[in-house]
Amino acid sequence: MRTLIIVARDSMLNDLEELLQRNDVKAYTIMSNVMGKGVSGRVFGTFLNPDTNAIIFAVLSPEQAAKAVSALQALHTARKAVSQDTPIPLKVFSFPCEEHV
């Protein structure tokens, strides 16, 4: 099994959920209103700086994970092509995992 961690702006959440569903990812967990700092800047979730992130966790078979990662890479590439060198607020991480219960 593989765990995917997807970190993105909350505003991208609908697009990401649609992408996951199109790629047969049927189970995942979403954490919204996440704050922090990364390559695309700091997200505060305040009145003057209202951006927040979302984190999506999914545990998938290696084949499902590879398919989802490929689709997420394509999304990132497409957004980067029109961003004019603005960092894309999307990061994807994966690692092996074991189910114990």
Cβ–Cβ under 8 Å, residues 19 and 72: yes
Domain spans in the chain, listed from the N-terminal domain onward? 2-96
**E strand or H helix at 9:** strand 2-9
Can you tell me the distance from the alpha carbon of 10 to that of 55, in angstroms, rounded to the nearest whole number?
A: 9
pLDDT, averaged per 10 consecutive residues of the chain (101 residues), comes to: 96 95 96 85 76 95 96 94 86 95 93
Architecture field, domain 2-96: 2-Layer Sandwich (3.30)
What pTM, to 2 d.p., does this model score? Answer: 0.89
